[in-house]
């Protein structure tokens, strides 16, 4: 279906989302008429708010630590420490996705507990209410290695193909595609962000015209996008990788020295005798 027109527009009039709110009800309350093949791109912040993912944290760093599984890189500049970490969802991101913007003083907002499950619940509610086959992407803003700025990516998905595996197919010139796997989920998230904006108060966008990307609710979620650690070539920041390599090399050198000494002087007496003859 590529080559056909696609439209993306933001929903207006949703208002502030509070813990316990029904997002499907708020979305339908805007008066939008959802159609078969529509894909909703929903900012993760309102999902977290509806799920009550606030925690009291006078120090945002404590909240980041609580969500961190592994530190990838850490830099302190002008008294501020920036941490790139792997969070409990497997995502590598600055500050573990902890958000202090548009929250009450002394509180921060964490990412949804299970974004794929949140997307599935929302998609099921909207499909039941409208009779339309609708997909849902839950998006969050991340930076990218080697590139400036941030873009929205998919952290949750339901009823949408998030990856297009083109490996084994051929391009227009007949060349075999070996690694090409477009991340549709992230592309949809970024498209939605273009019309939602960061401070517009419009946290939901509708992508229309790509019904070919919508499917059953048992399609793989956005967790499918996260690269497995063993396949990750950017496991650590440069400084952290160098420091680890130094520590491992130093430990190996000490072990080799001790092993060589043990082989040459297997007993204490042999070592003492060597010392006396020097």
CA nearest neighbour of 203 among 40, 35, 28, 32: 40
- Distance CA(161)–CA(215), nearest Å, equals 7
Contact 142, 150 (CB under 8 A): yes
> Six-digit token pair at 109?
């907002």
**pLDDT for the residue 264:** 63
Q: What is the pLDDT of residue 275?
A: 45
Give how far Cα 26 sits from Cα of 17, 242, 277, Å.
9, 50, 89
The tokens describing 244, both together, are: 């680890």
pLDDT at 218 over 60: yes
pLDDT of residue 277: 45
pLDDT digits (tens, 9 = 90+) for 11-29: 999 888 999 999 999 999 9
Lookup: tokens for 183: 């991340």
Judge whether 137 and 188 are in contact, CB under 8 Å: yes
Tens-place pLDDT, residues 56-102 = 877 778 888 889 999 888 888 877 788 889 999 988 888 888 887 77
Share of the chain above pLDDT 70, in %: 90
Mean pLDDT of 108-121: 96
Token readout for 223 is 């967790």
Residue-by-residue DSSP string for 9-53:
EE--------TT--HHHHHHTTT----TT-EEEEEHHHHHHHTT-
The CA-CA-CA angle for residues 208, 211, 214, to 5°, reads: 115
pLDDT per residue as tens digits for the range 147-167? 899 999 999 999 999 998 777
Average pLDDT, integer, range 175-181:
75
The phi and psi torsions of 74 (rounded to 5 degrees) equal: -145, 130
The pLDDT tens digits of the residues spanning 244-277 come to 888 888 888 887 776 776 666 565 455 545 544 4
pLDDT (tens digit per residue) in 187-205: 999 999 999 977 678 999 9
Helices (H) and strands (E) in the chain, counts: 7, 10
pLDDT score, position 39: 98
Whose CA is closest to 101, among 26, 21, 156, 46? 46
CATH superfamily, region 1-53+112-234: CofE-like (3.30.1330.100)
How confident is the model at residue 1, as a pLDDT? Answer: 53
**Element housing 72 (H / E):** strand 68-77
| CA nearest to 202, candidates 46, 9, 12 | 12
The token pair that represents 253 in the structure block: 């050198």
Half-sphere exposure (CA, 13 Å, Cβ side) for 70? Answer: 11
Nearest to 85 by CA among 58, 60, 56, 65: 65
CB neighbourhood size of 158 (10 A)? 31
Q: Are 59 and 180 in contact (CB under 8 A)?
A: no
Listed by start position, the domains of the chain span 1-53+112-234, 54-110, 236-278
Its CATH architecture, for the domain 54-110, is Alpha-Beta Complex (3.90)
Q: Given a cut of 50, is residue 124 above it in pLDDT?
A: yes
**107 band by pLDDT with thresholds 50, 70 and 90:** confident
Sign, CA torsion 110/115/117/120: positive
Q: Is the pLDDT of residue 185 over 60?
A: yes
pTM of the model: 0.83
Residue 164 in tokens: 């297009």
Are the C-beta atoms of 214 and 157 separated by less than 8 Å? no
């Amino acid at each position: 279906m590529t080559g056909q027109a696609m439209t993306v527009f933001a929903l207006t009039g949703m208002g502030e989302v509070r813990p316990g709110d029904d997002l499907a009800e708020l979305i339908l309350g805007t008066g939008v008429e959802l159609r078969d093949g529509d894909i909703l791109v929903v900012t993760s912040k309102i999902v977290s708010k509806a799920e009550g993912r606030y925690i009291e944290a006078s120090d945002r760093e404590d909240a980041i630590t609580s969500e961190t599984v592994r530190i990838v890189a850490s830099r302190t500049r002008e008294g501020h420490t920036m941490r790139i970490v792997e969070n409990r969802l497997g995502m590598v991101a600055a500050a573990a996705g902890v958000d202090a913007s548009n929250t009450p003083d002394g509180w921060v907002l964490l990412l949804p507990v299970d974004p794929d499950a949140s997307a599935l619940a929302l998609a099921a509610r909207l499909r039941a209410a409208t009779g339309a086959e609708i997909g849902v992407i839950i998006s969050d803003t991340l930076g990218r290695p080697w590139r400036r700025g941030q873009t929205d990516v998919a952290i949750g998905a339901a009823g949408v193909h998030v990856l297009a595996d083109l490996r084994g197919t051929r391009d227009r010139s007949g060349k075999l595609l070996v690694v090409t796997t477009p991340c549709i989920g992230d592309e949809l998230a970024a498209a939605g962000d273009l019309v939602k904006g960061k401070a517009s108060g419009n946290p939901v966008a509708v992508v229309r015209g790509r019904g070919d990307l919508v499917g059953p609710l048992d399609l793989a979620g956005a967790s499918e996008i996260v690269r497995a650690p063993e396949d990750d070539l950017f496991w650590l920041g440069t400084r952290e990788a160098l420091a680890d390599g130094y520590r491992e090399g130093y430990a190996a050198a000490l072990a080799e020295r001790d092993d060589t000494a043990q082989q040459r002087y297997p007993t204490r007496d042999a070592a003492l005798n060597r010392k006396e003859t020097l």
